[in-house]
Structure 1
Amino acid sequence: MHISFISYLLSTMTANNTVKKYTPFPALHFPERKWPQQTLTKPPRWLSTDLRDGNQALVQPMDGDAKLRFFQHLVKFGYKEIEVSYPSASQTEFEFTRRLITTGAIPDDVWIQVMAPCREELIRTTIEAARGAKKVIVHIHLSTSEVFREVVFNMTEQETIELAVRCARLIRNLTKDSADPEMRQTEWTLEFTPENFQDTSLEFALEICEAVKAAWEPTEENKIIFNVAATVEVAMPNVFADQIEYFCTHISDREKVSVSLHNHNDRGCAVAATEMGQLAGADRVEGCLFSNGERTGNVDLVTLALNLYTQGVDPGIDFGNLNEVVDMVEELTKIPVHFRAPYAGKYTFCTFTGTHQDAIRKGYKSRARLEERLGPSAKWRMPYLPMDPADLGRKHEAIIRLNSQSGKGGIGWFVNEVFEVDMPRDLEVAFTRVVKSYSEEKGVEITHDIIEELFRSRYMLPKPEGVQLLSCKLRTGKVCSAKSNGVNGVNGVNGHAVSGANGVNGHANDHANDHANGHANGKPKPNGKPAIHEHTNTVHLHANIAIQGVRQTISGSGDDILTSLADAVRGLGFCFDVLDYKTEWQHHEGAGENDESTRRSAGFVKLVSGDKTAWGVGIQEDSILASLHAILSAAAKLE
């Protein structure tokens, strides 16, 4: 005990000493900040750096063909500024840049961006690679933070400024002021990155940017880009927003400057910091799809764009088929998108928990009613789902996933998707026990196929085609006799003939409707019998059926069609009472102009015999046949 206590004290002391190695990032005293009161109402200028920053971070960088495919997809999605290469880094990078230009792969409205460090010979190579392009951004970077200047480059602030200015002047001489007519035909823009801006004193960051701007001489029509990067994320997002607002409000000639953000995710706050940076006045955002990039990656352009979308702001980027975006990025980068990645992950719109599933199921029912009144443009309002998966090309069937933790809401959802019916609540509860038991025993996720197999084997006839309704006569106080229309033909109520197999399902007359559907949701009395309808006439049923090819004649009476049918089935030797039942039908329009509309009926019956109960379900085009299937299935399970 004594030794353990001493060990605990030693470990605590070691931990405390370790913490003392780190210094809190200093907050900026900036009481005049305005960004907390701002809102995002428009998208930024987007720059994808997937082909440069993202590519250099891959274990196996993309070859020219892969980069070309990626570039074409970025153009398709709507990106107008794309950093394509670091031409001085390798011959592959140089040749890819030339390939884009010489093959005409770059649309006229797309700017390509090429990057170089502040070294004269590498800048010359970079500009030569971009020769002949229509619109080019030359991006140079130089680390300005104290730790990099002292530890890596051994340079003073003044030496750093002088180097940046020399490079800006060199680029100007080689591009927009060049004596080469071909170079002057290109529209050139300069981007300067005071690398590690977040860890650079604001006074020095402003001083070096002012010097570079004076050397380049931008215009309002062709702004210089200052990429105030969180190359390594070391501060909280609110501190970064203060830095951005201070920079934006203190840089001169603000109308000639585009302030760009390039946030890395070292603290896991890149998205928040970038959004706050835009509130603080930044105009442009650089990043990669799904946060690819060095170390923890660049800010995720997909999340940023779709965050805007959910706030009613068009991001200007088309992610309407997000699965295609995921597939492309995973194939070309060999990096999987995380299952729980915002918007794009396979589990993003899925829930396994019963309470979540029930809320989402109710939400979709409410949504359907809302769209009936207002159309598909009705505002999105859904429990647990901030965005409609359909807007991203995701299928609703993937929203709810089933396992042993799932509840009746999710299981009912799956049954509805497989069979297009809504179960009675008691059946939902019973079937939920069946599904959860199966999942616990097998240790597997429940799929649509498993749901269908379990539901059919538990509640439906094993061979439904083996039971046929050949003819049926119904009367309520008056004899009803009309000629049968053949197999599955049904005669009408009160002397009105019904054509086809679906007559009693609501298309003969109002009286037929009353008896076919009036007890559709009949509830049992305390003694286990269904509630009696106000209509006091007894329904008499006489039918010819065939079971496995053997013809049978059955007759019965009851308060409505279903109970009279149950009474008739007892004549086949079954002994049971009806505890609960429900019937429903749906009208389905044909898919094409020559397709006929169809109706599907579902019958749900709960029977009891002694201390045993059983549910039966029948789904057919004819309502009486559906009820017959349900009764026979439940009765067979009571034997």
Structure 2
Amino acid sequence: MYIEKVKNEMNLPETVKIFDTTLRDGEQTPGVAMTVDEKIRIAKKLDELGVNVIEAGFPVSSSGEVEAAGEILKMGLNAHICGLARPLKGDLDAAIDADVDYIHTFIGTSPLHREFKLKMSKEEILSKSVDAVEYIKDHGIIAEFSAEDSTRTELDYLKEIYNAVEDAGVDCINVPDTVGVMVPTSMNWLIRELKSELKVPISVHCHNDFGLAVANSLASVEAGADQVHATINGLGERAGNASLEEVVMALITQYDLKMNIKTEGLVNLSEFVSRITGVKMPPNKAIVGENAFAHEAGIHVHGVLAKAETYEPITPEMVGHTRRIVLGKHTGANAIKAKLKEYGIDLDKNQFDKVFNQVKALGDKGKCVTDADLRAIAESILGRAKEEIVKLEGFSVMTGNSVLPTATVKLSINGESKTAAKTGVGPVDAAINAIQRAVSETGDIELQEYNIEAITGGTNALAEVFVIMGDKEGNKATGRSTTEDIVMASVEAVLDAINKILILR
């Protein structure tokens, strides 16, 4: 909405190319190492997604990098296959021998890099840069040049070196914010300065040290940058690179730029890369995170169910995601009703109130109620006796390795309080024995079958207890209860079955 008011102040290109460096910079994520086969599989998916350039690796660094680039090239992908190289003949020859059609060459230009890493003068660095670009072009290969740490390089020198490589025939110059020190305003200013002098396309490579890689990439595009370096899931050195999925979706939906990216494949590719690298995405990761389209708060759920756009800037289907209504302490009645409608479970007001209150109680205890949990809770309440002749007023259980499990129950039977205590082989057995003693005068009802199942995994999983009770007259009834306390679930299930038998009588 408001972006339309400032678009005329931007220098937006007609389209933006995506230079994916997941296989190179992404692999430099600490602890990540990809096999040749894994690189091939990721490259295939990147090409299907529609990226323009795939940086396959750093050929001179290992034979595996050369092999990976070679195997990727054999697939005949639509994307350019790029190799990284320093402005050294050995590096450049390794990339050329790998038969890539695109070489990204780089050298540090900032005072820090010149003095402490390279120990070279400005003139030497400029000369090596020009020679490298000319060497690449002499071999008929696309050349992209990066002035490493350009955002901490003196502007006059940065312009001088970029002008020199442009004169040498470079196809694209890249501006790396190598240690992520820029903010969007300064990044925009720098790209505008360079754009005013250079004729070749400008690319940017932003790191996320201050969490600004995506913002800086977008600010660069606003200033006229034609290409963005990015990685799937924002992988990369230290805090990573600009996240491809975030950059792409912002450019398409907020800036209305036409891009050749099949966005519905983003979640699948994100999950695929996450499995291969072992780097899990936080649930609140934008676009592809598990919670990116999850809603819990009652107000939000109500809005989303009425019209998704109220709380979703894009549809989940646009990126291959799905919407989730999460049940917990903030859940409203509308969310639960919508879920129950999905399951075809129809509850009356009293039954629904019981489900609603149980979900809220579980949420207050810190539990996220899953779909399976809700269904089990609703079905157990739906199947309960309509009338409670026997009501639970309270119970306690004592157990441990030094005492015999003992339970005491207090019941209201036809309005009269009854208390009983019994032992058992465990707390559940003791509680059921105590109930049977308390109701013995009303009817001789015994447990005939007992089953328990954990609905979901974890120590806080809901327990679903199913029982069959019977009396000497041949009356039988089932009882069911679902709650996080096994003993309580057992007590409720037994009382449910007892009430059904007493109603039958």
TM-score (norm 2): 0.71
Letter matched to residue 127 of structure 1: I
* Higher relative contact order (Cα pairs below 8 Å, separated by 6+ residues): 2
- 2:175 alignment partner in structure 1: 228
Query: What does the per-residue CA deviation read over 1:530-581, in whole Å, with 9 as the maximum and x for residues that have no partner?
Result: xxxxxxxxxxxxxxxxxxxxxxxxxxxxxxxxxxxxxxxxxxxxxxxxxxxx
Q: CA 1:244–1:638 in 2, change beyond 3 Å: closer, same or farther?
A: farther
Structure 1 residue 40, shift from structure 2 partner: 5.2
CA contact (8 A) 2:57 2:83 kept: yes
CA distance in 1, matches of 2:359, 2:164: 70
CA contact (8 A) 1:238 1:276 kept: yes
Structure 1 residue 401, shift from structure 2 partner: 0.6
CA distance in 1, matches of 2:165, 2:42: 33
Query: What does the per-residue CA deviation read over 1:70-107, in whole Å, with 9 as the maximum and x for residues that have no partner?
Result: 11111111123111121101111122222333xx2123
1:161 maps to 2:126:
yes
Structure 1 residue 41, shift from structure 2 partner: 7.4
CA contact (8 A) 1:198 1:229 kept: yes
1:80 maps to 2:52:
yes
Which secondary structure state, in structure 1, belongs to the residue aligned with residue 188 of structure 2? Answer: helix
CA contact (8 A) 1:319 1:325 kept: no
CA distance in 1, matches of 2:501, 2:348: 19
1:98 maps to 2:67:
no
Query: What does the per-residue CA deviation read over 1:250-291, in whole Å, with 9 as the maximum and x for residues that have no partner?
Result: 22xx1xx11001111111111111111001011011110110
RMSD between aligned residues: 2.8
1:437 maps to 2:372:
no
Query: What does the per-residue CA deviation read over 1:489-513, in whole Å, with 9 as the maximum and x for residues that have no partner?
Result: xxxxxxxxxxxxxxxxxxxxxxxxx
- 2:321 alignment partner in structure 1: 394
CA distance in 2, matches of 1:325, 1:462: 50
Greater C-alpha radius of gyration: 1
1:455 maps to 2:364:
no
CA contact (8 A) 2:13 2:221 kept: no
Indicate which of 290, 294, 297 corresponds to 1:353.
297
Q: CA 1:41–1:138 in 2, change beyond 3 Å: closer, same or farther?
A: closer
Letter matched to residue 92 of structure 2: I
Indicate which of 159, 163, 171 corresponds to 1:206.
159
**Identity %, equivalent residues:** 25
TM-score (norm 1): 0.56
**Structural mapping, 1:167-178, within 5 Å:** 167-173=132-138, 175-176=139-140
- 2:443 alignment partner in structure 1: none
CA contact (8 A) 2:293 2:312 kept: yes
Which secondary structure state, in structure 1, belongs to the residue aligned with residue 65 of structure 2? Answer: helix
Structure 1 residue 243, shift from structure 2 partner: 0.3
CA contact (8 A) 1:43 1:308 kept: no
Deviant stretches of 4+, over 6 Å: 423-427, 635-639
Query: What does the per-residue CA deviation read over 1:390-430, in whole Å, with 9 as the maximum and x for residues that have no partner?
Result: 2233233x2x1112332223222221222276x78887555
Letter matched to residue 275 of structure 2: E
1:415 maps to 2:415:
no
**Structural mapping, 1:100-499, within 5 Å:** 100-101=72-73, 104-107=74-77, 109-130=78-99, 136-173=101-138, 175-176=139-140, 188-216=141-169, 224-251=171-198, 254=199, 257-311=200-254, 312-364=256-308, 382-396=309-323, 398=324, 400-419=325-344, 431-440=355-364, 443-460=366-383
1:65 maps to 2:37:
yes
CA contact (8 A) 2:12 2:224 kept: no
Letter matched to residue 129 of structure 1: A
Letter matched to residue 401 of structure 1: V
1:50 maps to 2:41:
no
CA contact (8 A) 1:42 1:315 kept: no
Which secondary structure state, in structure 2, belongs to the residue aligned with residue 309 of structure 1? Answer: helix
Structure 1 residue 202, shift from structure 2 partner: 1.8
CA contact (8 A) 1:194 1:229 kept: yes
Structure 1 residue 192, shift from structure 2 partner: 0.7
Q: CA 1:126–1:39 in 2, change beyond 3 Å: closer, same or farther?
A: closer
CA contact (8 A) 1:287 1:300 kept: yes
**Stretches of structure 1 lacking an aligned partner (at least 5 in a row):** 1-33, 177-187, 219-223, 365-381, 464-634
CA distance in 1, matches of 2:355, 2:286: 33
Q: CA 1:169–1:288 in 2, change beyond 3 Å: closer, same or farther?
A: same
Q: CA 1:281–1:637 in 2, change beyond 3 Å: closer, same or farther?
A: farther
Q: CA 1:419–1:322 in 2, change beyond 3 Å: closer, same or farther?
A: farther
Structure 1 residue 334, shift from structure 2 partner: 1.5
Query: What does the per-residue CA deviation read over 1:169-213, in whole Å, with 9 as the maximum and x for residues that have no partner?
Result: 33334x03xxxxxxxxxxx21111011111112211110111122
Which secondary structure state, in structure 2, belongs to the residue aligned with residue 433 of structure 1? Answer: helix
Q: How many equivalent residue pairs? A: 386
CA distance in 2, matches of 1:456, 1:285: 52
Q: CA 1:358–1:430 in 2, change beyond 3 Å: closer, same or farther?
A: farther
CA distance in 1, matches of 2:333, 2:15: 42
CA distance in 2, matches of 1:428, 1:384: 26
Which secondary structure state, in structure 2, belongs to the residue aligned with residue 341 of structure 1? Answer: coil
Which secondary structure state, in structure 2, belongs to the residue aligned with residue 211 of structure 1? Answer: helix
Q: CA 1:314–1:415 in 2, change beyond 3 Å: closer, same or farther?
A: farther
CA contact (8 A) 1:321 1:394 kept: no
Letter matched to residue 67 of structure 2: E
CA distance in 1, matches of 2:336, 2:7: 46
Which secondary structure state, in structure 2, belongs to the residue aligned with residue 50 of structure 1? Answer: coil
Q: CA 1:449–1:60 in 2, change beyond 3 Å: closer, same or farther?
A: closer
Which secondary structure state, in structure 1, belongs to the residue aligned with residue 83 of structure 2? Answer: strand
CA contact (8 A) 2:179 2:207 kept: yes
Query: What does the per-residue CA deviation read over 1:282-323, in whole Å, with 9 as the maximum and x for residues that have no partner?
Result: 101111011001011110011111123333544321131444
CA distance in 2, matches of 1:444, 1:73: 37
Which secondary structure state, in structure 2, belongs to the residue aligned with residue 115 of structure 1? Answer: strand
CA distance in 1, matches of 2:349, 2:228: 51
